[in-house]
Amino acid sequence: MSNIPENNEVDVDKLFNELLESGSGTSDKEKRDSIIKAYEFAKEAHKGVKRKSGEPYIIHPISVAYIVRNEIGLGTKSITSALLHDVVEDTDYTVEDIAERFGDKVASIVEGLTKLSGVFEQNESVQAENFKLLLLTLTKDLRVILIKIADRLHNMRTLSSMPVRKQYKIAAETLFLFAPIAKRLGLYEIKTELEELSFRYRHPDFYAEIHSKLEAVKENNLKSAKSFYEPIANKLIEEKFEFEIIPISLSVYSIWKKMKAANVSFEDIKDICSVCIVFKDKEEGTSEKHQCWHIYSAVTDVYTPNPEGLRDWIANPRSNGYKALHFSVFSEEGKSVEVLIRSEKMHYIARKGVAAYLRKQGIKGRDSAITEWLDNIKDVIDKNEDALEFVDQFKLNLFSASIILFTPKGHVKKLPKDSTILDFAYSIHTDLGNHCVGGKINGILHPRDYILKSGDMIEVIINKSLVPEAEWTNIVMTARAKYSIRVSLKKQRKELIQSGLEILTKGLEKYKLKISDKDFNLLLQSHNLNSKEDLYLALGNGRISLIEIIRSIKKLNPGFIQRYWKLQFRSSVRIEDAGEELKTDIKKINTKKLFYLVEGEEKQKFVMATCCSPIQGDAVVGFAEEGKPIVIHRKDCKKASDLMTKYGDKLVDVEWTVYTKSFFLAKIDIKGVDSIGIVNRVTQLISNKLNVDMREVNFSSSHGVFDGKITVKVQNTKDLNNLISDIMSIKGVESVYRTDAS
C-alpha cells in the first residue's frame, strides 16, 4: 500500500481503493459491494478516532484487510471481517448489528476476533489462560487466527509509535506465539517479517549491526549467487525445463540465531545466501516428485553434492503442507551452497500457505496437514488443566521440529524432536505406555528413556506388572504422554489412599482403639505428615507399617482411654503440581516509570537474576513482584523472554547509574589449541597483567583441544570486553565468549 506521510494527512479513500483494486476477485459485483459496504460502515464507526501514531484509525483496518487479501490470499468474507474487526471492540455496535448487516458468518469471525482483543491488547498482559482462549478459537475457524496474524503484522509494522516498554512486550509476544503459528500455517514470508521486526525492537543494537554488515556484502553475495547458478541454468535449459532461479538471503534474525548457536561472529557465517529453483510443471503428466529429482540429477551433474545436506520434504512433507527438495552442493570455490527445488505450486504454498492455495484453486475446507495440527492443539488443550504448563507444552509439542518414526507394521508416527521410546509407546496407546519397559530399534534393546531419531522403527517392549512412576514425566516430551502418566499416578494415589484407609480402620477395630482429631494431628506430626491423606498414602504404599501407627497411638494414649474418633475421607484427591509461579499483584511499584539501578540499593530494591548474571552496561529489563525486590534480567536472557510473554504487565524499564565500587561475576568460556603452558599464560594474563580477580578456574583437554571455564570479577561490560579481547590475543586461543546467559 502507499506509504503514509509523516504529517498523517492521509486520503483514506485512496488507500481503500488500492485495497479494492488489488488482488483478484473484485470483478464480482456482489463481493465488491460487500467490501465497499464494510469499509463505509467501519469508516463511520471509527470516525474521529486516531491511533497512537496520530493517523486516522480506519487506516489500521484497511491495512489489515490488505494483508489478508494480498499477503495471505483470503476471500471476501475475510476481507470484510478484517475491515470490521475492531468495530465491536471499540464502538457501541454489537455482534448482532454486524450479523444484521453482513451475515452470520462475518459476525462469527468478528466475534472471535473481539474475544481475542483483550488477550493481545497493547495495554494488557498476555496470560497463560488467554493462550488457551486463542488456540481454542484457532481450532474452530482458521480465518480468525489468520486475520489476527494480519492484525499483529500491521501492529508490528507501526510499533515505533509505542513506548519502549510496550515495544519489548509486544515483540516478545510476537516472537513467542505469532511467528511460530505463522510458520506452522505455512506463512513463511509473514513469519520471517514478524521475526525480523520482533528482533529489531527487542535487540535494536544487534539488529542494526548485523543489518549493516548484511547490506555491505549484499551486492557481492548476489554476484556470487549469479555466478554459481548460471551453469545450473544452462543445464536446465538443455533439459527443456521452464524455471526461475531465485537467490535467497538469510534474514538478520536467522543470522543472529546461527551466531548464537555456534558462538561465532558474522564473518564466520558462510551460508548467508542460497538459491531456489522454481519450475513449471510439464504438461505430459510427469509428477512433481519425478521432476524435482530430475532437476536434482541435473544440478549434481554440475556440482558435487554434499551427502549430509539432503532433506526430502516431498516424500515426507512438513506438518504445514510444505514440500520441497533441499540439498547442498560444493561450489567451484569449495563452499557449501544450499539449493531448494520447488514446483510453482510448492513455491506458492511456501510463500502464502496451504489455506491461500486452496482458496486460489477454489477448494473449500482445510488441508489435512493443517487439520492434523489443529487437532493436536485441541489434544494439548484437553490434556493440560494447568495454564502455565499448557503454554510450555504447547510450545514444546506444536512448534518444535518433528521426527518421522515407524511401527513394526510400517505405520508412520510424527513426534517432536527429542521424543523417547516412552513417548512413542503412549502415542500408540495409553496402556502400551503405562507398561513400557523399553523398545527394540533395529533389533537392539534400548531403555524407555532412549531418545529417538527420525527414521527409527520401534518395537515397544512391555511388562504388564509395571506401572508408571513419577519420574517418568521427566523423560517424556509430548503432552499426551505427560497427561497419561499424571492420570495413572492420580489413580494409583487414590487407590493407595483408599487401601491405607482400610488398613487403618481394620487395625483400629482389631486393637479396639479410638482417637480424637486432636491426637490424630499429634500422630501426623510425629511422623512428619501434613494430612490424613498423607498418612493413608504412607500406609497404602508400605512406607509406614500399621504396627508403627498402633505404637504411636498407644504412646498418645498411655491409659488406653477410649475416645471417639470420626474418620473423614475426602473422595476428591488432588495432586498439586510443583512449579515456579509468579503470584503478583503490583500496587506499590509503578511499572510505567523508569527505574534506576543505584549502587548500594541491591537486595533492598532490586536483585540481579542468577540465570543471566547482569553486569553494569548490559541491556537489562526488570520484573516486579509485590513485596519483593525488582528482579533484573539481561534482555537476551531466555527466562526474561518467557516472562515478557507471560507477565508483560510486570515489566519495568530500568537504567543503570554509575557504579564505582561494586563488582559483578561473569563466566567466560575459552577454547583453543592445547599446548604446554597455555593455561598458565591465560591465568597469568588475567590475574597479573590485568589484575582481575578469578573466582573459579577449570580447564580440560581432549584430542589436542582445550576448553577453559573461568569466573571473573569485573565492574562493567567494558572491562569484560577488554578482558576477552586481551585473552584472544594469546597464541593458541581460538574463541572467548561469555556464557552466563540462560
Q: Please, which residues bridge with residue 698 across strands? A: 709
Distances, alpha carbon 659 to alpha carbons 63, 346, 436, 662, in Å? 47, 57, 58, 6
Distances, alpha carbon 422 to alpha carbons 284, 412, 466, 485, in Å? 48, 16, 13, 10
Report the distance separating Cα 11 and Cα 304, nearest Å: 56
Cell reading at 446? 534400548
Parallel, antiparallel, or unpaired for β 630-634 and 243-249?
unpaired
Parallel, antiparallel, or unpaired for β 595-597 and 654-656?
parallel
The active-site residue out of 18, 90, 209, 653 is: 90
Closest among 370, 459, 350, 467 to 408, alpha carbons compared: 459
> How deeply is 53 buried, as exposed, middle or buried, from its count of CB atoms within 10 A (0-12, 13-18, 19+)?
middle
The contacts of residue 680 (CB under 8 Å, 6+ apart) are none
Cell reading at 540? 497404602
Q: Tell me which H or E stretch contains 144.
A: helix 142-157
Closest among 271, 323, 325 to 300, alpha carbons compared: 325
The 3-class SS string of 660-693 reads CCCCEEEEEEEEEECCCCHHHHHHHHHHHHCCCC
Active site residue 89: yes
Active site residue 90: yes
The contacts of residue 613 (CB under 8 Å, 6+ apart) are 634, 664, 665, 666, 667, 740
Strand order in the sheet with 336-343: 243-249, 273-279, 336-343, 325-330, 304-312
- Amino acid identity for residue 263 in this structure: N
Active-site amino acid positions = 89-90
